[in-house]
Structure 1
Amino acid sequence: MAIKEGDFVKLNYTGSVEGTIFDTTSEEVAKENGTFSEGKEYKPIVIRVGGNHVIPGLDEDLAGKEAGQEYEIVIPPEKAYGDHDSSLVKSVPTNEFKEKPAVGMRVTADGRQGVVANVVGKRAVIDFNHMLAGQTLNYKYTIEGVVEDSVEQAGAVFDLFVGRELEMSLEDGVLTVILPPGITYDQRYMMGKGMAVHQIFEFVEEINEVVLKESFKRPEKAEPVEEAAEKSEE
């Protein structure tokens, strides 16, 4: 059965520019091409077709495809990360940075993240464009299947916007999300939870209410030193 707009799907993909891979969901591909990162979890992502969860060119290509088949698409800049905008290249005094800027370094200036394109005297040229702006991208992808479970769909939306897999359950239209201790200090969670909830109401019809629930467990008491020593002697 062909994939249609509105379906939640599991998507495996590899993106490249002129043969150089910049992103992949496959650990094997990452290791083969020397882009493997220990801190990254390699797995298919769950997205809603037509939900703008991936770049427009890839999102538009998914509808009508069949699960289990590999496809390849070339995506021009206007359907990816846009053209390179010269107005987003700024000159900033080097003394504004804690660390001496060097070409290629990612930095934050004026509240935005950019890359040091050049250093001239006491000024650094910062490019605030997306690193793939102006690039034509190549994607190879496979749709592993359709995700129909409402909880899994909601979990995928939270993962996309807050970068975490959260424990959750659904009963009588109420989605209860268990928040781990300390998550309120996570800036990405605080900024993304509103959009996640908004999209859950928009895209997952079975859910009528979302409860974000913090849960704290009493820590186990440490065993007294003397008692522990006696047990070790036994």
Structure 2
Amino acid sequence: MKIENNKVALIEYVLSDAEGNQIDASNGQPLAYLHGHHNLIPGLEKELEGKSVSDKFTVTIPAEDAYGPKMDHLVQANVPKEMFQGVENLEVGMRFQAQSDEGMHSVVITQVSDEHVTVDGNHELAGMDLTFAVEIMGIRDATAEEIEHGHAHGAGGHHHH
């Protein structure tokens, strides 16, 4: 069986940045994903197409096929500190859930001054070329319910937004 649309594949992966620093890894808990439903970044899904169980590969995916370029309009400078009620010490690197026109999204503080902070709403991996070392652990047909919902259920099936 090969990975194709409406198959669920179980993959072990190690994700590294361009310098080879590990960002994320499945660590023996393979990720289950439903192929063809945009559950993974486009560049990785494209590489997985047609692969079989026990195939291993390493691929570097440019930012535009991963989480996209950094978008300047998602960076907001001079946000008043009063916006962050109940937080004693605002520090660079803190993440918050922010409400926007598009719903909830995650922002990170990139600068702190006396009265203001700068927040960046880009995905933390935006603008980065990503290297994935992948091993295919299993492939199965998706259930009708999985196809309807657009993601894998059961072991390893969790949301990555």
Same-fold status (TM-score > 0.5): yes
Residue 77 of structure 1 corresponds to: 63
CA distance in 1, matches of 2:20, 2:123: 19
Residues 149-187 of structure 1 show CA distances to partners (whole Å, capped at 9, x for unaligned) of 7389579347434x9xxxxxxxxxxxxxxxxxxxxxxxx
CA distance in 1, matches of 2:134, 2:8: 15
Structure 2 spans left out of the alignment, 5+ residues: none
Query: 1:109–1:10: structure 2 CA closer, same or farther, 3 Å change rule?
Result: closer
> Which of these residues, 136, 143, 146, is aligned with residue 143 of structure 1?
136
CA distance in 1, matches of 2:145, 2:97: 35
For residue 114 of structure 1, report the CA deviation from its aligned partner.
0.6
The code of the aligned residue for 2:91 comes to: A
Query: 1:48–1:94: structure 2 CA closer, same or farther, 3 Å change rule?
Result: same
For residue 7 of structure 1, report the CA deviation from its aligned partner.
1.8
Aligned partners of 1:69 and 1:143 also within 8 Å:
yes
Residue 83 of structure 2 corresponds to: 96
Residue 46 of structure 2 corresponds to: 60
CA distance in 2, matches of 1:151, 1:5: 13
For residue 52 of structure 1, report the CA deviation from its aligned partner.
1.0
The code of the aligned residue for 2:7 comes to: D
For residue 143 of structure 1, report the CA deviation from its aligned partner.
1.1
CA distance in 2, matches of 1:101, 1:9: 41
2:143 is equivalent to residue 156 of structure 1: no
Of 129-138 and 113-122, the range deviating more from structure 2: 113-122
Which structure has the higher relative contact order (CA within 8 Å, separation 6+)?
2
Query: 1:105–1:150: structure 2 CA closer, same or farther, 3 Å change rule?
Result: same
Partner-residue secondary structure (3-state), 1:139: strand
Structure 1 spans left out of the alignment, 5+ residues: 28-42, 164-234
Aligned partners of 1:88 and 1:127 also within 8 Å:
yes
Aligned partners of 2:7 and 2:142 also within 8 Å:
no
For residue 21 of structure 1, report the CA deviation from its aligned partner.
1.3
CA distance in 1, matches of 2:67, 2:117: 24
For residue 110 of structure 1, report the CA deviation from its aligned partner.
4.2
The code of the aligned residue for 2:124 comes to: M
State the structure with more CA Rg. Answer: 1
Query: Which structure has more strand as a fraction of its residues?
Result: 2
Query: 1:123–1:62: structure 2 CA closer, same or farther, 3 Å change rule?
Result: same
Query: Which structure has more helix as a fraction of its residues?
Result: 1
Q: Percent identity over the alignment?
A: 31
Aligned residue pair count: 147
For residue 74 of structure 1, report the CA deviation from its aligned partner.
0.6
Of 117-126 and 102-111, the range deviating more from structure 2: 102-111
The code of the aligned residue for 1:141 comes to: V
With structure 1 as the length reference, what TM-score do the two structures score?
0.56
Aligned partners of 1:115 and 1:127 also within 8 Å:
yes
For residue 109 of structure 1, report the CA deviation from its aligned partner.
3.8
**CA-atom RMSD, angstroms?**
2.4
Aligned partners of 2:16 and 2:23 also within 8 Å:
yes
